[in-house]
Amino acid sequence: MAAKKTTINTLLSSDMSNDTTAHHSPTSLHDSARGSPEPPLDSFHTLVQAINKILGPCNGIDSAGVDVEELKSAMRAFDGPDEEWQKYAFQDYSRPYTRNLVDRGNGKSNLLILVWTPGKASPIHDHANAHCVMRILKGSLTETIYGWPCEGADGLTDCATSPTHPTGHTCSAEPEQLEPHALCNANTEEVAVSLHLYTPPNAARHGCHIFDQRTGKKSKVQQCHFYSELGVKME
């Protein structure tokens, strides 16, 4: 009987303890519903947010309500550390560059990070009748702009200019600027990284044209595949 009494007392004591816990009132009516606060956005993701805000929920870059210079200014102002965008910067030395999707914006744009293999270049290409705003994040890129068509030239290279864009440089290209161009990472030791905003994302949807450097002949290629999307490498 003594052993049984001890067991019952123990159970009663446990029940009373549980009852006290169950009826403990929170210090605030909202304590139980309050979640952990979201960490503040870093500089890079603040830039992504700013680009989406400038473009708006319905407008493309070519609408009257969007100022290209405002987009360039936002990209130019970014001064965050490399670590903020590195999760999107996949590199692959087996190809000249990788196209990594950072954000799909409002459905009328693509924001990409391109990682350029040392000493490699893109083909000569157009932008599929889309706007492009570019910011160099790391290293430098030489942009060769081909004056096409041009009178009296035997090939595209006869009317080409090749400015070099250093880290931090921001520029844009409009659909009406028909000259094809190519980008090259002339550094044979280090990768270069660039941020590109395309709107509308015509190349990703429909492909773009590349050009033979000698003859100027164009051919259509598809650009629908990204090397990575939103920080995840695609298989």
Q: Which residues are annotated as a binding site for Fe cation?
A: 125, 127, 181
Q: Which residue has the tokens 């004056």?
A: 147
Helices 43-55 and 68-77, axial angle in degrees (round to 10):
170
- Which residues carry a binding-site annotation? 125, 127, 181
Residue 137: helix, strand or coil by DSSP? strand
DSSP state of 228: E
Cβ contact 193:89 at 8 Å: yes
Maximum CA extent, the chain: 114
| Side-chain half-sphere CA neighbours of 137 within 13 A | 24
Q: Which residue has the tokens 């905003």?
A: 197
If one counts every other C-beta atom within 10 angstroms of the C-beta of residue 170, the result is: 18
**Rounded CA separation 207/218 (Å):** 13
